[in-house]
Amino acid sequence: AQEMTEGGSGRTQEENDDQGWSGLLTFPRELTVRDDAVELVPAREIEALRLDPTDAGDLPDQAEVLLTGAGPVDLRIAGSEERILWNGTLAHGEQVRILIDASIIEIYRAGHPSRTVRAHPADKERYAVRHGDGVSAVAWTLGLPDAHG
């Protein structure tokens, strides 16, 4: 049996009024057990949204990146002024999945809590993954398969 959940990011009423919006929904997630601990991972159905391979160093605003290997890695907004959104060092055999849907970024790293980040690239800015030589990055554009064909 598959146990799925969606997460939300809520705000106080004052924050809602200040920001003009009240929250967001995450990508669907599955509950799994790994080494006697419960983890949230992207729902396997998200893989059906993978369309074309793309360059992890120049990502569209709807994308998935799979990182494997060992070494330093970061996700940033690249443009005239670069901003690092997340960074880490992968251990040998470790895997990280990054899902991007416009301003919502979700990072799934085995053995760590999932992380949701908001970012708003300006015109001519793009999401980009930078990594050391020991890390492999495979990326896809995400979308509805029917809309692609």
Give Dmax over CA atoms of the chain in angstroms.
48
pLDDT per residue as tens, the chain (149 positions): 555 555 555 556 676 677 666 666 777 788 888 788 778 888 888 899 999 999 999 999 999 999 999 999 999 999 888 999 999 999 998 999 999 998 899 999 987 888 888 898 988 999 999 999 999 999 999 998 875 55
Global pTM reads 0.82
Question: Quick one: pLDDT at residue 80?
Answer: 82
Question: Quick one: pLDDT at residue 29?
Answer: 82
Map 80-123 to HEC letters.
Answer: CCCEEEEEEEEEEEEEEEEEEECCEEEEEECCCCCEEEECCCCC
Question: Quick one: pLDDT at residue 142?
Answer: 96
SS3 73: strand
Question: Quick one: pLDDT at residue 22?
Answer: 61
Structure tokens at 80: 């005239």
